[in-house]
Amino acid sequence: MDTPLRTRFAPSPTGHLHIGNARTAIMNWLFTRHGRGRFVLRIEDTDRDRSTEASETAILEDLRWLGLDWDEGPQEGGDYGPYRQSERTALYAEEVNRLRDTDHLYPCYCTAEELEARRKAMLDRGESAHYDGRCRRLTQEEKRRFENEGRRPAFRFRVTQEEAVFEDVIKGQIAFQSENIGDFIVVRPDGMPMYNFACVVDDHHMHISHVIRGDDHVSNTPRQVLLYQAFGWEHPAFAHIPMILGKDHQRLSKRHGATSVAQYRESGYLPEALVNFLSLLSWSSESGDEILSIDRLVREFNFGRVSKSAAVFDVEKLDWMNGVYIRGLDVDRLAEMILPEMKKAGYPVSSQEEARTMASLFHDKLEKLSQIREKAKILFQEDVDPEDDEAKEMLNLPEAEPVFAAFLKAMASTDPWNAETFKNILKTVQSETGIKGKHLWMPIRVALTGQVHGPDLPRVAEILGYDTCRKFLKKALQYKKG
C-alpha cells in the first residue's frame, strides 16, 4: 500500500516570510494539491531568543494572502500535533533518551570559543571544518571535572558510517563522506533540540512523505539521514529545489531589492501573479505558457520539469506578469484594490464609484497597484509644470500658442463639459488652425498634465473639470509667451 502523500512547510517565526521560503511553500502546496495529499504547517520556534508571536502571525497572513491553505497546523489542529516545536519538547526529550540508550549520543563540553578556535585552525590548514571528536571518549573523571567547572554539555550524534547516501527527487543520488560531516550537535546545553534533530523527529511523527525545500538544505540532509537510520525509521523522499539568485547571479538578498512577501504585497503585486511567477522559478509548464492560473499550476505541476539549475529572480518579468493580471481584473475589483492606495496618497477619493473612475482610466497603465499613487497625481495637482525637457519642448512648439488660444476660445461657448465635448473642441481647433496630429494634442496634454504620455486625454479633461482645464491652458499660454 502506498504511503499517503503528506508534505509540510515549516517556517521559523524570526522575521518576515522571505520570498525564497514562499517559493518553497508554493512548491510544496502545488505538489500536494496535485497529488490530493495533506499539506501541513509546522512552526519551528525552537530559537527562543528570536522567535516571536508577531512574526508567526505575519507569516500566516502572508501565506493566506498568497492563497496557500493548509490542512493541519497550529490553529487548525490535526492528528499529529501540536504543530509548534516549542510545544513538542517532551517528545524530543523522549527521543533523545532513545538515542542515548543506544549510544548514538555523547555529551560534549566544548565551549563556543574552543570550537571556534579549532574551526579556524582547521580552515587555516586547508581542512574542512568539522568537529574533531574531542569529547567522544571522555572518561567519567573528565566529565566530572568539566561539570565541576560549571560546564553544561550539549549532546552530539556519534557518526560511525563512512558515508551518508540518499536519493534526491531532483538531483539524483547524493553521497556525503562522514569525514565532512563530523559528530554534530542534536541538543543544546539548555536542552533545546537543534534543527536537524527536531526536524527528523517531527517529520517522522507527522508521517511526512516528502520533504521539499531549498538546496541550501542539502548539507543538512546527510545528518538527517543518519538520524533516521539510528532510530530505525524510513526517511521521507527528499526534493531540493534550486536556489533563487539575483540578476548578478549572487544569492538573492536585500541588495537586489525587496526580499519578503510583505514588501511585494505592500508594493501592489497581486497574489496570483506572485504565485505564478515564483512557480516558474526552476519549473516550467510543458505547454511553454507563462501565464498560468492556480488551477493549471496545480494540474500540471510535477518534479520532472524542475530544473537542477539556480533560478534568476527577474523583477522586470514579475512586473510584466503582474500587469497582465491587473489588466485581467474587472474594473470594480480593481477599484476595490486601488482605493486603499489612493487613500495612502492622500487623494480625495473615498467612494467606490470614484475609485472606479480611476480604475477605468488607468486599467491598462498599471504594473503594480501602488503605481496608481504616482499616475493619478495628474488629476489632483493644484498647478501644472512640465515634468521634463520633452514636455517643455511641447509647450514651446510654434503650434502651441495658436492651439491654446483656439482651444480657450472654443471652450467659452461649451456646455456641458465632458470627454465628447473635449473631442469636439479638438476637431474645431484642428479645422480653424490647420494643426493636427501630435502638434495639436501633445501641447494640450502637457498643458493639462505636465506629461507627454498618459491615459486617455478626453477622459482626463472630463475628470479635471471645465474650470481646472481652463486655468491650466491659460497658464500654458503664458508659458509659451514667456
Block means of pLDDT (10 residues each) for the chain, 482 residues, are 86 93 97 98 91 95 97 95 95 96 96 91 86 91 93 95 93 90 93 94 98 94 97 97 87 72 95 97 95 97 93 94 98 95 91 92 96 95 92 92 95 91 95 94 95 95 96 88 54
- Residue-number span of the structural domain to which 153 is assigned: 88-241
Rg (CA), the chain: 32
Per-residue pLDDT of 353-393, as tens digits, reads: 999 999 999 999 999 999 999 999 999 999 999 989 999 99
Residue 10 domain-assigned (yes or no)? no
Q: Are residues 97 and 212 in the same domain?
A: yes
Q: The domain that contains 237 carries what CATH number?
A: 3.40.50.620
> Where are the strands (E) in 30-131, listed by range?
38-41, 105-108
Global pTM value? 0.90
- Beta-bridged to residue 106, according to DSSP, are 156
Compute CA distances 173 → 68, 162, 218, 239, 411, whole Å: 31, 16, 12, 11, 78
Q: Are residues 108 and 228 in the same domain?
A: yes
Residue 46 domain-assigned (yes or no)? no
Work out how many domains the chain is built from and give that number: 3
Per-residue pLDDT of 232-268, as tens digits, reads: 999 999 999 999 988 888 887 666 666 899 999 999 9
3-state secondary structure of 339: helix
Q: Are residues 385 and 373 in the same domain?
A: no
Residue 157 domain-assigned (yes or no)? yes
Q: Cβ(280)–Cβ(290) under 8 Å? A: yes
Joined grid coordinates for residue 75: 490553529
Residues designated as active site: 254
Compute CA distances 310 → 217, 239, 244, 313, 315, whole Å: 14, 14, 6, 10, 16
